[in-house]
Amino acid sequence: MRNLLHNMNPSVKFIAVTISMLTIAFFFNPWTPLLFFVSILLLQLTMSHINWKLWLLFMLPFSIGAFGYLWTTVVFGADTGGTIIWSFAGINVTDEQWAHALSLSFRVMAFSSLSLMFAFTTDPVKFILSLMQQLKLSPKLAYGVMVGYQFLPVMKDEFTQIQQAQRLRGVEVEKRSWQRIVSMRRVLIPMLAGAVRKAERSAFAMEARGFTGEPRNAYYRPILLSRTDVLMSGVFLIILLTSCFGGIWLN
Amino acid sequence: MLKSWKLKEVVLMSLFAVVFGIVYLLFVHAANIWAAVIGPLAYEWMFGIWFIVSIICMYIIRKPGAAFLSETMAAAIEVLIGNAVGPRLILTGVVQGLGAEAAFALTGYKHFNILVLMLAGIGSAVFSFIYGYFVSGYAALDPSFVALMFTIRVLSGAIIAGIGGKYIGDALLATGSLRGYAIARTKKGDMNA
Amino acid sequence: MLKETFSLNHLSFRFPDDQKATLKGISFSISKGEKVVISGPSGCGKSTLLYLLNRLYPDNCDGSVDGEVLLFGKPATDYAPGEINHRVATVFQDPDSQFCMPTVEDELAFTLENLQIPFDKMEARITAVLELTGLTHLRHTIIQSLSGGTKQRVATACALIMEPEVLLLDEPLSHLDPYTAKQFVEWLTDLQLKTQLTIVAVEHRLDSWGKFFEREIQLDENGCLVNDHLFSPKQPILFPERSISLQPKTALQVENLSVTIKNKQLLTPLSFSVCRGEIVVVAGPNGSGKSTLVKSLCDIYKPTTGTIQSDGTGYVPQSPEYLFLTQTVQKEVAYSGSSNPTDIASLMTRLRLDEICEDHPFAISHGQKRRVAIAAMLADKRPVLLMDEPTSGQDKAALLELFELIDQRSKEGTTFLIVTHDMEFAASIADSVLLIKDGELTGKFDAKDVWNNEELLESHHLLTPKGVDRFAESFA
């Protein structure tokens, strides 16, 4: 039971997540995203084993974002009519505006929990392999992405090395964001020049091992579809329908 | 479409995506904090950093699909390296990539001057905004506020992605490391196109 | 009928961006079972030649080929993409960019999938090749966590799993330290005995290979074949003798320095001092704290305890371009603004940067980049220079130039601390040696006391420099 989300085929999970998200986007009542958010939480509590501390840490910025959304929508909400429920500093907030604001904030929470659910229960390598095996992603792209993924730690380290070396030359770390963006060019050029070199070397190494980008006949690690996927797709569908209709009904 | 692509070009797009993925992570933390104070506007100005990969890759490789593929790969890599925004980024990447690609396609993939690159940045901005309008429910916001968000995003696309992309592409070309890519071969012919 | 493995007939090759051909009129053939090395200075086109044998070129660079390339008696152009790679496998020079999968097993499986090997055969082949190469214990290890030497072994295993007829080696030792390189060659010798593979290697430093090869094909800097003869073991590079030029004045004084980062003590308290004009080699096993020491000396890492007093320390990383911030060599040297134009002009002349002063610092040769980095550091009034692995991947000409460069500067009063594994280079240039192990300073030794002390060197994973008698004599 606790493995169900982890054992789900990544492509199926990806499709389920995408469809859920696009569907929820049609709803502007506060209940639908709230119901969905709670259901995804329950789903994760019962069908996965994840590090909740880490989950909270990741959820925090989204919650902050959701709060930002809440007050922006209250202050800059579209004129919708309805009754004024409260006023503050000259801003009149109607019940409809308030409902919209809550809806959008809950939407941020719902989408974030959905994303985290995917991120916490999916092995990145299996995800790529599955995109290639189930969704017929071209091996050229799939393994291209895979190479990038392998290089991440190396390039992070390189990034630090370059920053350290440049600081030695008297380059200060800028405080303002836009200045930091502009000064980023100095680190970017050596990074990108290195990336060009690494790209060619890696591509040559792959081709020298007979990689042509053609679809493959057999996989050493077949990513399979199983009964779990049918079951879990059903679960997602039920959650989605419950949230949609439940939201309408509660509203 | 992928037949005409060399593997080294595909891997190049992927590694560029990693580089910008690292850069992006540095800024997204700052924006997250701002998001509480100024709401979704916090993210608007940095959208250009998102679009820049597709513009640089197209500027260097100059093959139909370069903008679309690189942006999509960038999003996929972002998911792999654990960006918490997760799978919906892939969809976002596809949409943004299509926006930039549309601009290049409009010019028949013949011109890669600053105006076209800025247009591509704007293309990404417009496409991503339409998508965001739907997914993030901008419809609930005041039209003038939406207009402000749109303006900032378009500016970010044109300036950070368009001008910035051209600047980085040219600076990289000057380092001599792009030997063997389309940009190095055609640089003379396209200066005033 | 026994066909030749490779046969080249008046082969010329030109890159599309170049006016001049990289390879000119090359003819030779290689038979089954031979062990051949293609040698020549950096940039002579020997790697290009190798890429024509495994069909990476001309397709990957749109270059133009003249003459005939026969692979197993068939024109190279008659092979479909990827087809030849089943029979000709390659190991490349950079251990960090040869893999696309997370674990050793996955990487081997990737290769088998490329060859369209049926699923039920894969397991047996992976087990067999791991057995053959002695890597069974690393089967589920993450490749990126392995050392450079082990990565090269994994790359070789990935080549061998294809059951090729020929193994191509593209400077496989150039990113390895001599100690690891020696182990790799021994391992490969053993493997060759077991498999009887045809081996064609490209290499510019042949002394590490001992008697591995049977035949040597030499190219000159213009890409012409100048020699095709029996291979004879090579002597290490003979560096000129130098006179000690240290001045009786302290340039760097380190007291009780220790570094702890994220609760991990990387350096235990150490003290030493260095004179002006002294050349110090810093050596020790990988991960022993050499880089940490260098980085804390030049203020990249903050010392946890202790003090560092110096005339001003500068840093030249293994990739000097990490330091570069501007678009021309001239601007790069003048960047800090600490020196007046006259001093900069004089520095430019002394470091032979005048003729490239308008070039882009990224677009010049590796040796030139290093000179620019040194000039920039000296212009910034940092006369104590810390160099990280400057010998790595350098050919003979570049090493002699490096020697000359350091020797000249030290005569002018510049102090050097050089991190290197290359004991031949160290023995020729060092006044003293700092040996480090597990974050502890074993000691600062007079150079001449170190080279004969095999036990001391071995315990720091260093090889006794070849031709050690010469050094013992010259210092006697």
What three-state secondary structure class fits C118? coil
| Judgement on whether residues A105 and A123 belong to the same structural domain of the protein | yes
Mean pLDDT across A181-194: 90
Specify the CATH number for B7-186; select among 3.40.50, 2.60.120, 1.10.3470, 1.10.1760.
Answer: 1.10.1760
Q: Do B141 and A177 count as a contact with CB atoms less than 8 A apart?
A: no
Name residue, tokens 């006697």. Answer: C476
Quote the CA–CA distance of C314 and C312 in Å, as a whole number: 7
Residue in C82, C300, C362 closest to A212 by CB: C82
Q: First-to-last CA distance in chain A? A: 33
Closest residue in A to B32 (Cα) is A61
Name residue, tokens 């397991």. Answer: C123
| Domain C4-230 and domain C250-312+382-460 have a common topology | yes
Quote the CA–CA distance of C385 and C417 in Å, as a whole number: 6
Q: C140, C142, C322, C326: best mutation site toward chain A, by most A Cβ within 10 Å?
A: C322
Q: Which residues lie closer than 8 Å to A201 by C-beta, 6 or more apart?
A: C92, C94, C97, C98
Q: Which of B131, B130, B136, B109 is nearest to B120 (CA)?
A: B109
Stretch 26-55 of chain B: residues touching chain A, C-beta under 8 Å: 26-27, 29-30, 32-33, 35-42, 49
Quote the CA–CA distance of B80 and A48 in Å, as a whole number: 19
Q: Do A208 and C110 count as a contact with CB atoms less than 8 A apart?
A: no
Q: Which residues lie closer than 8 Å to C361 by C-beta, 6 or more apart?
A: C321, C324, C326, C327, C328, C329, C332, C369, C372
| Judgement on whether residues A38 and A82 belong to the same structural domain of the protein | yes
Mean pLDDT across C273-288: 93
Q: Which of C448, A246, A196, C438 is nearest to B61 (CA)?
A: A196
So what's the pLDDT on residue C470?
54
Domain that holds residue A185: 139-208
Closest residue in C to B181 (Cα) is C61
The alpha carbon of residue C368 is apart from the nearest alpha carbon of chain B, in Å, by: 14
Q: Do B79 and A124 count as a contact with CB atoms less than 8 A apart?
A: yes
Specify the CATH number for C4-230; select among 3.30.70.270, 1.50.10.10, 3.40.50.300, 3.30.465.10.
Answer: 3.40.50.300
Name residue, tokens 């606790």. Answer: A2
Task: Assess whether pLDDT exceeds 90 at residue C315.
Answer: yes
So what's the pLDDT on residue C29?
95
C chain contacts of residue B175, beta-carbon cutoff 8 Å:
360, 362-363
Residue in C16, C59, C363 closest to B175 by CB: C363
Q: First-to-last CA distance in chain B? A: 26
Render the burial of B134-151: b for 16+ CB within 10 Å, e for the rest. ebbbbebbbeebbeebbe
- pTM over 0.90, yes/no: yes
Q: Give percent above pLDDT 70 in chain C.
A: 97
Task: Assess whether pLDDT exceeds 70 at residue C202.
Answer: yes
As given in the structure block, the two tokens for residue C434 are: 């700092």
Domain ranges within chain C, ordered by starting residue: 4-230, 250-312+382-460
How far is it between the farthest Cα atoms of chain B? 50
Q: Do B14 and A145 count as a contact with CB atoms less than 8 A apart?
A: yes
B51 touches B124 (CB < 8 A) = yes
So what's the pLDDT on residue C2?
57
Residues forming beta bridges with residue C219, ordered by sequence position: C225
Instruction: Give me chain B's average pLDDT, please.
Output: 88
Q: Do C363 and B176 count as a contact with CB atoms less than 8 A apart?
A: yes
As given in the structure block, the two tokens for residue B169 are: 């592409």
Residue in C92, C116, C335 closest to A201 by CB: C92
So what's the pLDDT on residue C1?
44
So what's the pLDDT on residue A179?
79
| Judgement on whether residues A13 and A106 belong to the same structural domain of the protein | yes
Stretch 75-94 of chain C: residues touching chain A, C-beta under 8 Å: 81-82, 85-86, 89-90, 92, 94
Residue in B22, B27, B39 closest to A71 by CB: B39
pLDDT in tens, C101-147: 999 999 999 999 999 999 999 999 999 999 999 999 999 999 999 99
Quote the CA–CA distance of B183 and B77 in Å, as a whole number: 25
Please state, as a whole number, how many other Cβ atoms lie within 10 Å of the Cβ of residue C93.
21
pLDDT in tens, C356-389: 999 999 999 888 999 999 999 999 999 999 999 8
Task: Assess whether pLDDT exceeds 90 at residue C61.
Answer: no
Quote the CA–CA distance of C254 and C130 in Å, as a whole number: 48
| Judgement on whether residues A95 and A195 belong to the same structural domain of the protein | no
C chain contacts of residue A222, beta-carbon cutoff 8 Å:
119
pLDDT class of B189 with cuts at 50, 70, 90:
very low
The alpha carbon of residue C190 is apart from the nearest alpha carbon of chain B, in Å, by: 34
As given in the structure block, the two tokens for residue A224 are: 């399979």
The alpha carbon of residue A214 is apart from the nearest alpha carbon of chain C, in Å, by: 9
Q: Do A77 and B178 count as a contact with CB atoms less than 8 A apart?
A: no
| Judgement on whether residues A170 and A241 belong to the same structural domain of the protein | no
So what's the pLDDT on residue A219?
94
Q: Do C60 and B6 count as a contact with CB atoms less than 8 A apart?
A: yes
Instruction: Give me chain C's average pLDDT, please.
Output: 92
Quote the CA–CA distance of C160 and C115 in Å, as a whole number: 13
As for how many domains chain A has, the answer is 2
Burial of C328 (0-12, 13-18, 19+ CB in 10 A): middle
Q: Which of B74, B53, B55 is nearest to B118 (CA)?
A: B55
pLDDT in tens, B48-63: 888 999 999 999 999 9
Residues in chain C whose Cβ is within 8 Å of chain B = 15-17, 59-62, 327, 360, 362-363
Q: Which of C434, C425, C379, C373 is nearest to C399 (CA)?
A: C425
DSSP-derived letter for residue C176 is: S
Neighboring chains of C (3 or more beta-carbon pairs < 8 A): A, B
Please state, as a whole number, how many other Cβ atoms lie within 10 Å of the Cβ of residue C196.
9
Please state, as a whole number, how many other Cβ atoms lie within 10 Å of the Cβ of residue B43.
23
What is the C-alpha R_g of chain C?
A: 24
Mean pLDDT across B104-133: 95
pLDDT in tens, B62-73: 999 999 999 999
Task: Assess whether pLDDT exceeds 70 at residue C235.
Answer: yes
Name residue, tokens 């330290």. Answer: C177
pLDDT class of B95 with cuts at 50, 70, 90:
very high
Q: Do B180 and C363 count as a contact with CB atoms less than 8 A apart?
A: no
Q: B18, B175, B178, B181: best mutation site toward chain C, by most C Cβ within 10 Å?
A: B175
Residue type, A66: A
What three-state secondary structure class fits C253? strand
So what's the pLDDT on residue C452?
87
Residue in C61, C62, C327 closest to B174 by CB: C327
Q: Which of C218, C300, C207, C228 is nearest to C259 (CA)?
A: C300
Please state, as a whole number, how many other Cβ atoms lie within 10 Å of the Cβ of residue C46.
26
Q: Do A155 and B15 count as a contact with CB atoms less than 8 A apart?
A: yes
| Judgement on whether residues A121 and A12 belong to the same structural domain of the protein | yes
Burial of A99 (0-12, 13-18, 19+ CB in 10 A): buried
Domain ranges within chain B, ordered by starting residue: 7-186
Quote the CA–CA distance of B186 and C128 in Å, as a whole number: 50
As given in the structure block, the two tokens for residue A175 are: 């405080």
Quote the CA–CA distance of C260 and C267 in Å, as a whole number: 7
Task: Assess whether pLDDT exceeds 90 at residue A184.
Answer: no
Q: Do C360 and B179 count as a contact with CB atoms less than 8 A apart?
A: no
Quote the CA–CA distance of A135 and A122 in Å, as a whole number: 16
C chain contacts of residue B179, beta-carbon cutoff 8 Å:
15, 17
pLDDT class of B191 with cuts at 50, 70, 90:
very low
What three-state secondary structure class fits C198? strand
So what's the pLDDT on residue A196?
96
Residue in A71, A104, A115 closest to B88 by CB: A115
pLDDT in tens, A113-140: 999 999 999 999 999 999 999 999 999 9
| Judgement on whether residues A39 and A67 belong to the same structural domain of the protein | yes
ipTM, 2 dp: 0.92
As given in the structure block, the two tokens for residue A196 are: 């060009």
pLDDT in tens, C399-424: 998 999 999 999 999 999 999 988 88
User: Any CB–CB contact under 8 A between A188 and chain C?
Assistant: no
Quote the CA–CA distance of C69 and C73 in Å, as a whole number: 9
Q: Do B35 and A148 count as a contact with CB atoms less than 8 A apart?
A: no
Q: Do B19 and A65 count as a contact with CB atoms less than 8 A apart?
A: no
Closest residue in A to B142 (Cα) is A78
| Judgement on whether residues A60 and A179 belong to the same structural domain of the protein | no
| Judgement on whether residues A239 and A184 belong to the same structural domain of the protein | no
The alpha carbon of residue C99 is apart from the nearest alpha carbon of chain A, in Å, by: 7
Q: Is residue A173 part of a domain?
A: yes
Residue in A189, A198, A210 closest to C114 by CB: A210
Stretch 96-125 of chain B: residues touching chain A, C-beta under 8 Å: none
Q: Which residues lie closer than 8 Å to C392 by C-beta, 6 or more apart?
A: C174, C175, C318
Q: C113, C142, C328, C364: best mutation site toward chain A, by most A Cβ within 10 Å?
A: C113
Among B104-113, C175-184, C237-246, C304-313, name the one with the lowest average pLDDT: C237-246
Q: Do B16 and A192 count as a contact with CB atoms less than 8 A apart?
A: yes
Q: Do C295 and A190 count as a contact with CB atoms less than 8 A apart?
A: no
- CATH architecture type of domain C250-312+382-460: 3-Layer(aba) Sandwich (3.40)
| Judgement on whether residues A40 and A121 belong to the same structural domain of the protein | yes
Q: Is residue A199 part of a domain?
A: yes
Edge-to-edge, what's the strand order for the sheet holding C35-39?
Answer: C88-91, C166-170, C198-203, C35-39, C215-219, C225-230
C chain contacts of residue A194, beta-carbon cutoff 8 Å:
319
Task: Assess whether pLDDT exceeds 70 at residue B90.
Answer: yes
So what's the pLDDT on residue C444?
95
β-bridge pairing C247-261 and C264-276: antiparallel
Task: Assess whether pLDDT exceeds 80 at residue C302.
Answer: yes
Quote the CA–CA distance of C74 and C72 in Å, as a whole number: 6
So what's the pLDDT on residue B190?
47
Q: Do B7 and A203 count as a contact with CB atoms less than 8 A apart?
A: yes
Name residue, tokens 């082969």. Answer: C11
Which helix (DSSP H) or strand (DSSP E) does residue A31 occupy?
Answer: helix A31-47
C23 touches C45 (CB < 8 A) = yes
Mean pLDDT across A167-185: 80
DSSP-derived letter for residue C100 is: -
Quote the CA–CA distance of C163 and C196 in Å, as a whole number: 12
The alpha carbon of residue C362 is apart from the nearest alpha carbon of chain B, in Å, by: 5
The alpha carbon of residue C319 is apart from the nearest alpha carbon of chain A, in Å, by: 9
So what's the pLDDT on residue C469?
56
